[in-house]
Structures are given as C-alpha cells and as structure tokens.
Amino acid sequence: MKNPLHTLPKFGAIVIACNLSFAVADEPVIKPAESVKPGINKNFLDPNLKVGDWVEKFEVESREVFSSRVQIMKALDLKKGEAVADIGAGTGLFMVAMSNGVGDEGKVYSVDISEAFVKNLKERVVELKLTNVTPVLCDQDDAKLPEASVDAVFICDTYHHFEFPQSTLKSIFKALKPGGRLMVVDFERIPGESSEWTMGHVRAGKETFAAEIEAAGFKNQREVEVPGLKENYCLEFRKPE
C-alpha cells in the first residue's frame, strides 16, 4: 500500500507535504540520559578507525544518499550567509557543498563523535582552503555547538546512531536560532519491505523518530520528497520563533 505521506503536491523537482504531526501510540518517553542502543557507535569510537575504509563505504554510487547528494542539498536550500551544522559529518560528504552554499559570509560546522573523522575533516579544510568550515568533535549526548549559533541543522543517515537522542536533541535545539530548521534524512524501516540489514540496524521507523524530535520541542514537521531517495526519507522540523 502506498505510504500516504508520499501523496504530496509537486513543486518542481522536490515535493513538499503540508505541515504534519506524527502521533505514535504507546511510545515510551525517552529520558535524556537513557541509552537507546548501547554500543551503536563503537566502530566510530575506535581509535584505530581507518577513514579510507569508510570513504569506500560512504562515498559510492550504490549508497543512496551519495548518489542523491545534489538533490539533498537542494532540499536543504542553504542561503548565503547562513550558518549550518552537519551532525554526523563523517567523511565530509556534504562539507564542500555546504561551504559553497553558505558562501564566504556563512559558517559550516562539521560535527562528529569520531576523533579520526574530525582529524580528517580538519586536514581537508586546510587542503581545500575552506575558511568558513569548522570541524567539531562532539560527545554522544551533546552536539557541542554554541547557543543560537546556527540557522539549520542537517542530520543524514545519523539520527539512528544517536545513542542518547533526547540529550543530543536538547543540545541541537539550544544551538539553533529561533525559527531555525532541522532536516533529518534516515532509513525507511518498514517490516516486510525494508532490508534485513535495515531492520536489524535501525532501531525504529520515521514515526517514532519524528515523535522523539517533536518531544524535544521542534514543531511544524513536513516530509520532503527528494528525487532519488527510496530507501531513505527526509523530514524537516522548525524551532519555534
């Protein structure tokens, strides 16, 4: 059966739904200090992590968000002079596009929990002379961003790696300026449709994740249909003015 969230009006290449509100029955309230999936980030916290191995996994055409990276950035719709945070920046897939999107007067925070990834991002920033990009080493429960410092937060295939989602979301909420937007791209998790890997790796579907984000204070949810995304969905939220 077709997902009713995808029956949306078309506006050019990107389809945007009207404001929606997901309600998930009997969902437990996650406490700020509660781990929802212990050990989910052990690979990224490994001091011996080899960045090159992850580049080969993340930056390949067979990965949907890589092949649709241009369309995803169009959906994020960065403006010159804006400040944006990429939470879970990893190998820096979107770093250059974000740098170009906000321009010289803007700011990009490339945030990750992996020391190896952040070290690599810092090296790339110097190599590519990206003067508007600041790599940030965050904690598992804190994005480590200044208060009211960003206009937009982008989380791509990373929300399901939030071990402490409520604490992390609290820090993201604090970092966003009033009216700032949060865009989340993550895997569809539909029993009987999603892959065995997704069902085992991703702890919940978008309705649950949306409820968690709304519980953290975010409002005005909408789903953005990005051309090329089938295994992933894209949701946008706003911090109230």
* pLDDT tens string 121-141: 999 999 999 999 999 999 999
34-52: per-residue pLDDT in tens? 899 999 999 999 999 999 9
Domain boundaries, the chain: 4-238
Nearest one of 168, 174, 113 to 147, comparing CA atoms? 174
Domain 4-238 CATH assignment equals 1.20.1270.360:
no
Residue 84 is predicted with a pLDDT of 98
CA 82 to chain centre: 17
Strand ranges in the chain using DSSP code E only, listed in sequence order: 10-11, 14-16, 83-87, 107-112, 133-137, 150-156, 176-187, 219-225, 232-238
Query: In the structure, what pLDDT confidence band is assigned to residue 210 with cuts at 50, 70 and 90?
Result: very high
Specify the pTM: 0.86
Rounded Cα distance between 95 and 93, Å, is: 6
Q: Average model confidence (pLDDT) for the chain?
A: 90
218-227: per-residue pLDDT in tens? 997 799 999 9
Query: In the structure, what pLDDT confidence band is assigned to residue 9 with cuts at 50, 70 and 90?
Result: very low
Contacts of 99 (CB under 8 A, 6+ apart): 108, 130, 132, 133
